Amino acid sequence: MAANKGPRNATPIKASRQKQERVRRVAGAHSARTSLQDRFRSWRQHHQDSFKDALQRLNAARTSSAMTILVIAIALALPAGLAVLLDNARAITRGWDGNAHLSVFMEMNISEQRQRDLARGWQGLDNISRTEVITREQALAEFKALSGFGDVLEALPDNPLPPLIVVYPDETDPVTLRALENRLAEADGVDLVQLDVEWVRRLHALIELGERLISALTLALAAAVVLVVVNTIRLAIESRREEIVVVKIVGGTDGFVRRPFLYSGFCFGFAGGATAVILVQVALWWLGGPIDELLALYNSEESLTSMAASSLIILPVFSGILGLLGAWLAVGRHLGDIEPNF
C-alpha cells in the first residue's frame, strides 16, 4: 500500500481481458513502461518544438521583440566596438615598439675611429640587435638641416654636438631596456645614455587602462543584458499564465514548462549579439576612412582592422548564454508563483 509501484491492474476491473490490457498499457505508457529511447525521442522533440515555438513567438510580437533585441545589441556593441578599437591601437603600437632605441652620447674628445670600434663591439652584446654611428659632423649636418638653426651653429667656434651611437635593442620590455641603459652608461667613453621609451610605456599604460575600462563596461553591460532578458521573460511568463496552469494540471514537468522560456531567452540573446556584430561592423566601416587617414598622417602603415572572424560567432553565442541565464533567473523566480487553482 505504500508508495511502491504496485501492480497496476491490482484494482478489480470488471472488463474484458482486452480492456484490462489497454488500461494497463495506458497506465504504463507514461511511467516505467516508456522506454528510454521513447523518452529521449520525445525529449528531443520537445526541444525542437520549444525552439520553433520561441522563434514563432519572437516573430509574432515583432515590434517588441525587435526593441528587446536592439537594446541588447546596443549594450553589447559598445564594449565590442571599443575592444576592436583597442585591438587596433595595440597592433599599431606593436609596430612602434620596433623604433625604441637608446641614444648613447659619447665623451666629446673621443675619436671617430674609437666611436666606430665601440659601436661594432657592442653589436655582439646581449639584447642589442644593431647599432648606428652618428659622428659629430653627421650630427651637425642633420641638426642644421632639420632644426633651422644652421646659421646660429655657423657662428659657434666649435661643433657643440657630441658623438652619438644609437643602440637598437632586440627586446622592448621596460626591465630589459633599463638594464641595458645602466650597462651602457658604465661603458668606456660613454657620457650619457638616453632611453627614448618613456612615451611607449605611457602608451602601454593607457592601453592597459583602456582594457580595464572595457572589462568593467563589459561586465556592467552584460548584467544589463541579463536584466533586460529577465524582464522580457517575466512578461512572457505572465502573458502565458493560463497555458502554464493547464500544462501543470495535465502533468507537465517543471522542465517542460521552463524549456520554451529558456529557448526564448537564448534566442533574444543570440539575435541581440548578432545584431551587435552588425552594428560594430557598420560603425567600423563608417569610421574606417577617417581613421586610416589619421594613421597615414602618423606615418603608420597600419590600417583599421575589423572584428576577428571568431568574434563574429563568439559574440552572439556569448550573448545567447547571457539570454539563457536571464531566462533561467526569470523562470526560477516567477514560474513557482503560478500554480493551478480551482
Please report whether residue 42 would count as binding other proteins according to CB under 8 A.
yes
For other proteins, the closer CB: 97 or 243: 243
Please report whether residue 4 would count as binding other proteins according to CB under 8 A.
yes
Please report whether residue 3 would count as binding other proteins according to CB under 8 A.
yes
Spacing of C-alpha 68 from chain mean position: 22
Phi, psi of 298, deg, nearest 5: -90, 15
Please report whether residue 340 would count as binding other proteins according to CB under 8 A.
yes
Q: Please check whether residue 271 is in contact with residue 75, taking contact to mean a CB–CB distance below 8 angstroms.
A: no
The Cα 143–Cα 87 span in angstroms is 37
The Cα 300–Cα 101 span in angstroms is 18
Q: Please check whether residue 172 is in contact with residue 77, taking contact to mean a CB–CB distance below 8 angstroms.
A: no
Please report whether residue 251 would count as binding other proteins according to CB under 8 A.
yes
Please report whether residue 43 would count as binding other proteins according to CB under 8 A.
yes
For other proteins, the closer CB: 27 or 313: 27
170 SS3 class:
coil
Closest approach of Cβ 12 to other proteins, in Å?
Answer: 7
Binding mask 310-339 for other proteins (x = CB under 8 A): -----------------------------x
Q: How far is CA 108 from CA 11, 71, 105, 114, 190, in A?
A: 115, 67, 9, 12, 9
The phi-psi region of residue 171 (left if phi > 0; otherwise alpha if psi is between -120 and 50; otherwise beta) is: beta
77 SS3 class:
helix
State which of residues 248, 312, 314, 317 lies at the interface with other proteins (CB under 8 A): 248
State which of residues 55, 139, 140, 245 lies at the interface with other proteins (CB under 8 A): 245
Instruction: State the distance between the two ends of the chain, measured CA to CA, in whole angstroms.
Output: 29
Please report whether residue 29 would count as binding other proteins according to CB under 8 A.
yes
Q: Please check whether residue 127 is in contact with residue 169, taking contact to mean a CB–CB distance below 8 angstroms.
A: yes
Please report whether residue 253 would count as binding other proteins according to CB under 8 A.
yes
Q: Which stretch binds other proteins (CB under 8 A): 9-17, 158-166, 227-235, 294-302?
A: 9-17
Q: Which stretch binds other proteins (CB under 8 A): 128-136, 210-218, 253-261, 296-304?
A: 253-261
Q: Which stretch binds other proteins (CB under 8 A): 37-45, 80-88, 262-270, 300-308?
A: 37-45
C-alpha cell at 299: 606615418
Closest approach of Cβ 33 to other proteins, in Å?
Answer: 12
Closest approach of Cβ 293 to other proteins, in Å?
Answer: 56
Please report whether residue 8 would count as binding other proteins according to CB under 8 A.
yes
The Cα 50–Cα 204 span in angstroms is 49
Please report whether residue 250 would count as binding other proteins according to CB under 8 A.
yes
The Cα 149–Cα 216 span in angstroms is 50
Phi, psi of 134, deg, nearest 5: -125, 110
Closest approach of Cβ 16 to other proteins, in Å?
Answer: 10
Q: Which stretch binds other proteins (CB under 8 A): 17-25, 129-137, 163-171, 312-320?
A: 17-25
Considering only CA atoms, which of 218, 206, 110, 216 is closest in space to residue 165? 110
Q: Please check whether residue 229 is in contact with residue 330, taking contact to mean a CB–CB distance below 8 angstroms.
A: yes
Please report whether residue 33 would count as binding other proteins according to CB under 8 A.
no
The Cα 218–Cα 230 span in angstroms is 18
Closest approach of Cβ 43 to other proteins, in Å?
Answer: 7
Interface residues with other proteins (CB under 8 A) are 1-6, 8, 10-15, 19-20, 22-23, 26-27, 29-31, 34, 38-39, 41-43, 45-46, 49, 242-243, 245-254, 256, 339-342
